[in-house]
Amino acid sequence: MVPSQAPRTDHLDGTGYLFGYPIAHSMSPLLHQTIFTGLGLNRDYFLLSSLDMAHFLSLVRDPKCYGSGVTMPHKVAIIPELDAITPEAEAVGACNTIFKRGSQLIGTNTDIIGIRESFFQNVSDSVWSGRPGLVIGGGGAARSAVYALVKYMNCKTVYLVNRERREVEAVMEWCTAHGYGDGLIHVETVSQAEQLEGPGAIVACVPNFPPKTESEWTARRITECFLAKPHKGAILEMCYHPTPWTEIGALAEKAGWQVILGTEAMIYQGFEQARYWTGKEHAELPTEAVKEAVARELNRARL
């Protein structure tokens, strides 16, 4: 593993990619081109919708490539192909960002920072301070959410709600093995949820589909039970495609919770990527220009 500090990469030109499949819906090129334009950098950022790992590695190892984003289904498979990874990527077992140190390809995970900053930039910490967190879902994004809640938001207890027991068990085993799973509680029934303290921060990591199976309905009812508790916190709805306005978000808003759209996590993880690729700190990036560009794209998509 290597430390997480960003290298200085201030050269003006270069090419980067987002490697995944399918990714036609991604707003990453819009985000990064807006950043590069705002910084006066002559850089390109292309979608590489592909399953060809060897081709991608040949592109990213080219000296003209400053780095790359990595998304599904490659976030885990890419790790053995890299020269090193940061502690964050090691902790959650997934890489969504590649940056360079000399000729070496280094993998990190900026999804964690996207989750953290979605709360820090939009909500007073008094909303979640000293209270449990809640993660809805059981995939790779759930590990990133648990890490952010435990390591950065000081949630000593984190509830896990999901339709599949096996997925939750896998998340709990992984997080425990990597040093941040001791406070995880799998909430499996509404009656169990009724007895627990209400959370202050929720991260929803599931697709925006209505419940169909009995296990999906159980997970939804447990979620509604937590939303109905007296303390009203903030919920980050990670899903933003095809729309960031989701069923769970609507239920949370109706129950009195502050809803943070998934585009916020996308934006802030992108700022962290840009920090690695440009050497510029967050305060030096064109934050408002990026947010305005994303808002315009969301409005266009709603028409």
Q: Which of 40, 110, 46, 13 is nearest to 285 (CA)?
A: 40
Q: CB burial class (10 A; 0-12, 13-18, 19+) of residue 135?
A: buried
Active site residues: 75
CA–CA distance, 238 with 96 (Å, rounded to integer): 15
The secondary structure of 132-192 as a DSSP string is -EEEE--SHHHHHHHHIIIIIS--S-EEEE-S-HHHHHHHHHHHHHTT--TTEEE--SHHH
Per DSSP, the three-state class of 203 is strand
Per-residue tokens: 44: 């390109």
CA–CA distance, 142 with 134 (Å, rounded to integer): 10
